[in-house]
Amino acid sequence: MSQFIDDVDQRTRLVGQNRMELLLFHLGSQQAFGINVFKVREVIAKPQLRQIPGSSPVVCGVANIRGKTVSIIDLAQAIGFPSPPIRETDDAKVIVTEFNRSVQGFWVSAVDRIVNVNWENVKPPPRGTEQDSYLVAVTEVDGRWVEIIDVERVFAQVNQLNADVSEAVQKEAEGVPHDRRILVVDDSLVARKQVERAIAEMGFRTESRSDGKAALEYLEELADADMVDEHIELIIADIEMPRMDGYTLTRKIRENGKLKDLRVILHSSLSGQFNIDMVKRAGADDFLAKFDPDELGETVLRHVRGS
């Protein structure tokens, strides 16, 4: 399993086709869960752990993995999943992930396999569950439902991120127009709120949507009414989203004569050269790895000024 992310070029091409690969795993029951392979560095047996006083109760301990100190999180406990405690069996594994500029491990009862899915077949969670659960999306694989975990929300539970823009950047924002809105598109409620808070501290108003398709439908409504220029300053969109990913959203915007001049910043928990290359191919104006509020603020100001 440690070799499954070696073919980076092949998996990068999937992203541009509104597709992704999910690593399926279990948390002590038959229910299948999923995580985007691009977030995964490797899958290993549970390493030797060292306890850290005062750490979050969902952190099993820290381990040295390839020379780096990594927190190991009991994922079932972190999301409040009602399953028996995960035992140290041959099937139990740690999924080592890298996103939000950090490396962390998730302790799971078993790792299943990798499946190739189309984002159009990945659906938002049932209405009414977004505020209270760690579920970010669902999809169907071989006749069974797979629940995709909002790992950014799990990460925020263990590592509280600073979403405040510095006073210097806020002051810099005083000299730019604030009459139009910034459209924030992200399926993670936590990530969406972080961006909205940072933007609000700079004096901008926001409009938000939870996936690329909903955002495109909103923009097309504005375009049909010739109101795009009046309402939207720029777009900040996640890359991984149900129904339509950020790359496809950007390409659709560029194909629409009334939307093509909108500035698009792709903002993702996934970092790396492949994202920068895909941003250029999709036609986005910029790429930012989540989440640094000042870096986000400076980038927004640069594009609002048109520089």
The percentage of residues in the chain with a pLDDT greater than 70, rounded to a whole number, is: 89
* pLDDT bucket at 175, cuts 50 / 70 / 90: confident
- Measured from the Cβ of residue 100, the count of other Cβ atoms closer than 10 Å reads 22
Domain boundaries, the chain: 8-158, 167-304
Can you read off the two tokens belonging to residue 216? Answer: 């495109």
- Please report the pLDDT score of residue 203 as a whole number: 94
Judge whether 197 and 249 are in contact, CB under 8 Å.
no
CATH superfamily of 8-158: CheA-289, Domain 4 (2.40.50.180)
- Among 81-90, 185-194, 217-226, 236-245, the least confident range: 81-90
Query: For the chain, what's the residue count?
Result: 307
Give the span between the Cα atoms of 218 and 184, in whole angstroms. Answer: 12
The predicted-structure confidence for 70-97, as pLDDT tens digits, reads as follows: 999 999 999 998 776 777 777 889 999 9
Q: What is the DSSP string of 260-305?
A: TTSEEEEEES--SHHHHHHHHHHT-SEEEES--HHHHHHHHHHHHT
- Please report the pLDDT score of residue 37 as a whole number: 86
- Among 161-170, 204-213, 253-262, the least confident range: 161-170
Give the span between the Cα atoms of 28 and 152, in whole angstroms. Answer: 22
The predicted-structure confidence for 124-163, as pLDDT tens digits, reads as follows: 887 655 555 788 899 999 999 999 998 888 988 888 777 7
The predicted-structure confidence for 3-37, as pLDDT tens digits, reads as follows: 444 444 454 455 556 778 899 999 988 999 999 88
- Please report the pLDDT score of residue 73 as a whole number: 94
> Higher pLDDT residue, 236 or 135?
236
Architecture of domain 167-304: 3-Layer(aba) Sandwich (3.40)
- Least Cα distance to 252 among 108, 120, 71, 102 occurs for 120
